Amino acid sequence: MEELSEIKLEDSDLSLTTDALVYGAVLSEDKDGLWLDIGKKYDAFLPYTELSKELKSKIEKKQKVDKILVIIQHINFKDGVILVSNKKAIENKIWEELMWAYENEKPIRGKVIDYQDRQFIIEIENEITGIIPQRDIDIPPFKPPKFYLNKKVEGKIVKINPERRQLIISVRKLLEKEQEEKRLDLWEKIKNSDIVRGKIIKVEDDKITVELGFGIIGTVNYDELSWFPIKNVKRFFDVGDIVKAKILKLNDESKTAELSIKQTQPNPWSVFKEKYPVGSITEGEIIKITNGILVKIDNLLGYVPQNEITWGRVSEEREKFKVGDKIKVKVLSVDDEKQRITLSIKQTEPYPWEVIDDILKVDDITKGKITNITDFGIFLEIKPGLEGLIPKRYISWERIDDLSTFFKIGDVIEVKVINIDKENRKLTLSRRDLLKDPWEDIEKRYKEGDNIKGKIIEKTKDGIIIEIEPGIEGFLPQNQIYLDKEFNEDITEYVEAKIIKINTQNRKIILSRKALLKERLEKEIKEQLKEFTPPPITLGEILKLKNIK
């Protein structure tokens, strides 16, 4: 490098002063810096250490450099030395621009290059650095620091001191200002009943908070979250979810909104009411069984009250159902305000007594299940809602004192319909009519004069009823029990008697123990007479006897 001490300034260059900004063109380059033509008689020297980053990069890349802005740092008039700095010239220029931006409240741009001690380092035009406090890097909620590194940001200067090279910038203030402007603009555009989209920023047990954009906050209360009950709001919604909502009410003072998510969709209760009008029959799935039955139809729940489960006995019919079953139900009522649907299972079929003529006729043979056993007969369920009575006398041809000995509740038996009383809804049945009538061939088995032995069934004041065989009974009148009034032997379980009359038309057999005893007595006498027979009598003895008379 040429010795600076050999350069002398002439009088024409005495107007030059330090800190003056000038432009220079590159004349030559040596190992320590660049020689510049600054428009004076003598040239200026720019050391490499005083190059700006941008200029240094161009020189390293061998790019063409035209005019270079420099600041005169030192003038040695005696020795004719002019030292300049491109770096400080650029810095001064940037600081002037920053001061102008600060005074005129204009935003500046820069690149975030580092993060340390809870603040970000920002670089302006590759030369000047400033700081952005962590709280001023963004609008809450804040992202992790790594998110902002190497990103270009725009902010507002909140503090500047060029002498101390102090620069504090807030990105948040600028964002908040822009957001406020956009918020006001958006607020002017939205109105009640509008459908908007927003991001969930908070989830609570009874509500969620949604940001509609630019800081406008909306609240969705629990009742407006869904048409269906939500047990756990925090499981159903997450922070960050994008939701669609309807504006219910705008508060101009606080610039907040009351929202509804459920009203962005058709009211399922109203849709159900149109799709399934009262009286319609559809299919549903059993969800729960309590006293009644809970049934799901198109994601809505309807309830079948206990008295609408069956035409028959609820306790028995309910056991036939299980959770998950598909069943037919009839819609009885739909209350979309109270969100209640009342259903019926039994009304999917007509009430049996209303169509009894299509089900049964007199003399029909059918089957039924025993539902109750009483002293006077057996109740039989032909089908749910249709029960009949088998009177005791129609249960069997034979006499049965204790029905529970032969029949049990739940038994299925076959019967014949003998009477249908539609007006009083009474059905009379007979099991006996399906059994063989023991009187059909009575004459082949018994005839008058036959002696029988039977079991005493009942004693009355008029006589004794005797079972001759199952289904065949005889009557022993009181005056036919004993042969001699003075001698009344005790009669207990069984008795022997003679059939003295058979009336097939009236199904009556009259018995006589007296006749049987008399017959036996006469027989005994005859037997005794045979043992004591007198000797033969001659003719002469006979004539003698006559003369005696």
Beta pairing, strands 242-251 & 195-203:
antiparallel
Specify the pLDDT at position 53: 86
pLDDT at 542: 56
Burial label, 213 (beta-carbon count in 10 A; 0-12, 13-18, 19+): middle
Q: Please name each of the domains of the chain with its CATH number.
A: 4-90 (2.40.50.140), 107-176 (2.40.50.140), 190-264 (2.40.50.140), 268-348 (2.40.50.140), 352-434 (2.40.50.140), 442-531 (2.40.50.140)
In sequence order, what E strands does 447-486 have?
Answer: 451-459, 463-469, 472-477
> Which amino acid is present at 511?
L
Q: Which residue has the tokens 């380092």?
A: 121
At 120, the amino acid letter reads F
Q: What is the pLDDT of residue 181?
A: 86
- Return the pLDDT at 544: 58
**Amino acid present at 437:** D
Note down pLDDT in tens along the chain; length 549 residues.
333 333 344 444 545 788 888 889 988 888 899 888 887 777 889 899 999 888 888 888 888 888 899 989 888 777 667 899 999 998 888 999 999 999 999 999 999 999 999 999 999 988 899 999 999 999 888 999 999 999 999 999 999 999 898 999 999 999 988 888 888 888 888 898 899 999 999 999 999 999 998 888 999 999 999 988 888 999 999 999 999 999 999 998 888 999 999 999 988 888 898 999 999 999 999 999 988 999 999 888 999 999 999 888 887 777 889 999 999 999 999 988 888 999 999 999 998 998 999 899 999 999 999 999 998 999 999 988 899 999 998 998 888 888 988 899 989 999 999 999 999 999 999 998 898 888 888 888 889 888 988 889 888 888 899 988 888 888 999 888 887 655 566 677 888 898 999 988 888 999 998 888 888 888 888 887 776 666 666 656 655 555 544
Contact 334, 278 (CB under 8 A): yes
CA–CA separation, 360 and 389 (whole Å):
15
Cα(506)–Cα(501) distance, integer angstroms: 12
- The predicted pLDDT at position 159 comes to 95
3-class SS of residue 442:
helix
At 535, is the secondary structure helix, strand, or coil?
coil
What is the amino acid identity at position 462?
D
d(CA 81, CA 77): 7
Give the Cα separation of 518 and 463 in Å (integer).
19
User: What local confidence, expressed as pLDDT, does residue 545 receive?
Assistant: 54
Q: State the number of CA atoms in the 13 A half-sphere of 473 facing the CB.
A: 15
A 10 A CB-CB count for 202 gives 13
Handedness of CA 20, 25, 28, 30 (dihedral sign): positive
Quick one: how far is CA 155 from the chain centroid? Answer: 52
CA distances 469 to 299, 444, 452, 456, Å, are 67, 14, 10, 11
127 — alpha (psi -120 to 50), left (phi > 0) or beta? alpha
Token representation of residue 411: 């038994």
pTM for this model (two decimals): 0.53
**What residues contact residue 115 under an 8 Å CB cut-off, 6+ apart?**
121, 145, 146, 148, 149
- In degrees and rounded to multiples of 5, residue 458 shows phi and psi of -155, 140
